[in-house]
Amino acid sequence: MAKELPEDIRKDLDRACALHQRAVSDYAQCLEFSKIMAELLSRLEDADCYKAAGKVMGILLECNPKEGCHCEKAAMVSGRMEKIY
């Protein structure tokens, strides 16, 4: 059985999801999204929410911010963001 996500982590995941929607063509916001997700990964592991942590790790592996171009994997990352809970 998957462990319930702490409310503060759930709120930050929601914030990261909203940020990702805006970050698709904004390099600075894309970097911010990656930073938030890396921090959330650590917090999820500390909270023993390993299933969600694995999903966040998968997102981080796909997310590769590049300056001056549109994100090629935005739709895939958005889909994975929706499946974290």
pLDDT in tens, 31-45: 888 899 999 999 999
The answer to the question of residue 31 being in a domain is yes
Per-residue burial over 15-26, b if 16 or more Cβ lie within 10 Å, else e, is ebeebbeebbee
CA distance 4 to 44: 10
Mean pLDDT for the stretch of residues 9-26: 83
Percentages (nearest 5) of helix, strand, coil residues in the chain: 70, 0, 30
The answer to the question of residue 1 being in a domain is no
Number of domains, the chain: 1
The answer to the question of residue 45 being in a domain is yes
- 4 pLDDT higher than 90: no
Angle at 31 between CA 82 and CA 80, to 5 degrees: 15
The answer to the question of residue 2 being in a domain is no
Range of the domain at 39: 7-82
The answer to the question of residue 58 being in a domain is yes
Tell me which residue of 39, 71, 66, 44 sits closest to 55, measured CA to CA: 44
The answer to the question of residue 43 being in a domain is yes
Share of the chain above pLDDT 70, in %: 87
Residue with tokens 């969600």: 52
